[in-house]
Amino acid sequence: MPNIASAAKRMRSDAKKRARNQAVLSELKTLSKKLSQLASNPEKAKTTAAELVTRYDRAVSKGVIPRGRADRRKSRIAAFLSKLSKKQ
């Protein structure tokens, strides 16, 4: 345990931030898995992809993930949707 009050407060706030960040990352991971499972249904995949892109943008604005990582993953989502549309 820290001896200084500000350090104790910092530990508490860091624990809250960590919990919030883990929740956001878990949600992103869940939606990504859901999208990959929807390869047989392009309509649902498109709506799930739109939601996932929105969640990535929100995670960046909150500082949970870096902008470059979100951009790279959004690009991969777009490529996945393009591949799905070419199959149909």
Residue by residue, DSSP assigns 5-59 as HHHHHHHHHHHHHHHHHHHHHHHHHHHHHHHHHGGG-HHHHHHHHHHHHHHHHHH
Q: What is the mean pLDDT of residues 57-82?
A: 97
Q: Which CATH number do you get for residue 20? A: 1.20.58.110
Q: What is the mean pLDDT of residues 35-61?
A: 95
Instruction: State the pTM of this model.
Output: 0.88
Stretch among 23-27, 34-38, 83-87 having the lowest mean pLDDT: 83-87
Does the pLDDT at position 75 exceed 80? yes
User: What confidence tier does 56 reach under pLDDT thresholds 50, 70, 90?
Assistant: very high
**What backbone phi and psi angles, to 5 degrees, belong to 2?**
-75, 150
Domain that holds residue 77: 5-87
Distance from chain centroid for Cα 81:
17
Give me the residue label for tokens 């892109």: 53
**Structure tokens that stand for 38 in this block:** 């929807």
pLDDT of residue 3: 93
The domain tally of the chain equals 1
